[in-house]
Chains A and B, each alone.
Chain A
Amino acid sequence: NAGVTQTPKFQVLKTGQSMTLQCAQDMNHEYMSWYRQDPGMGLRLIHYSVGAGITDQGEVPNGYNVSRSTTEDFPLRLLSAAPSQTSVYFCASSYTPGERIQYFGAGTRLSVL
């Protein structure tokens, strides 16, 4: 059981480049979400999805797009990377939105130069 898998683990981008952070879970979880973690800021919710075809914005959605075409995958797209998006990104999932336990991936460390 792989749990929540994030790829890549590390990425360096130049300002203006686009890329997609991948997140996959094999637990048949309905709820998936993306967070970013910056030093001294805790984790902030970017986008979330309560099921295939349904997404919504979190606390800091600007500059990011998401889609949920399957239950398993929830990719996060950076449209035009900016240095302010340098951060560690975590994907998480839970069986339902109201489930009390979230499972997190190992994170993607992104640097935008």
Chain B
Amino acid sequence: DAKTTQPNSMESNEEEPVHLPCNHSTISGTDYIHWYRQLPSQGPEYVIHGLTSNVNNRMASLAIAEDRKSSTLILHRATLRDAAVYYCILSNSGGYQKVTFGIGTKLQVIP
């Protein structure tokens, strides 16, 4: 199963953009790229997903490299509420049965 690699931690200043990287060099053609985040003492929550093209939603943007071996989650303007652990995961067309959530990237937002 394809795995992802993320930095353990990152810092950002409040109200500045944040770019969270994810490497997935063994991604297959049918794997979707998902991002979830987990606020302290809460369950993970969906942020965004994509297959090949860049995606935008109200929470974030997802930039996917042309070769799909890496992606970047972009928070356009970090707030204190964005301090969380961000998980980059892959799932194939079959769903989440083989999904692995790694330890993610812990984002600290500095006021």
Which of A's residues lie within 8 Å of B, judged by CB? 4, 31, 33, 35, 40-45, 48, 50, 56, 58-59, 90, 92, 94, 96-107
Choose among A45, A90, A101 the residue that contacts B99 (Cβ–Cβ < 8 A): A45
Contact B43 A106 (CB under 8 A): yes
**What are the 4 closest A-B residue pairs judged by CB atoms, nearest first?**
A104-B43, A97-B95, A43-B101, A42-B101
Please give the distance in Å from B66's CB to the nearest CB on chain A.
21
Report the Cα distance A98→B30, complex, angstroms: 12
- B residues within 8 A CB of A56? 97
Q: Is the CB of A94 within 8 A of B95?
A: yes
Residues of B bordering A, CB below 8 Å: 32, 34, 36, 41-46, 49, 87, 91, 93-97, 99-104
Known: A33-B96, A43-B101. 13 other contacts (CB 8 A): A42-B87, A48-B96, A48-B97, A92-B43, A92-B44, A92-B96, A97-B95, A97-B97, A98-B95, A100-B32, A100-B34, A104-B43, A107-B41
9 A-B pairs within 8 Å (CB atoms) are namely A31-B95, A40-B103, A42-B103, A48-B96, A48-B97, A94-B95, A98-B95, A102-B44, A102-B96
Docked-complex contact B94 and A98, CB < 8 angstroms: yes
B30 CB to closest chain A CB (Å) equals 11
Residues of chain B lying within 8 A (CB to CB) of residue A35: 101
On chain B, the residues within 8 Å of A90 by CB distance are 43-44
Number of A-B contacts (CB under 8 A): 64
A48 CB to nearest B CB, Å: 6
A96 CA to B100 CA in the complex, in Å? Answer: 18
- Asked whether B43 lies within 8 Å of A105 as measured between CB atoms, the reply is yes
**Closest Cβ–Cβ distance, residue B58 to chain A (whole Å):** 14
Residues of A contacting B93 with CB < 8 Å? 98
* Chain A residues, CB < 8 A from B100: 42, 44-45, 59
Complex interface: chain B residues within 8 A of A97 (CB): 94-97
CB neighbours of B87 from chain A (8 A): 42-43
Q: Which residue of the partner chain A has the closest CB to B34?
A: A100
Bound state CA distance, A77 and B95, in angstroms?
24
Q: Which residues of A sit under 8 angstroms from B32, Cβ to Cβ?
A: 100
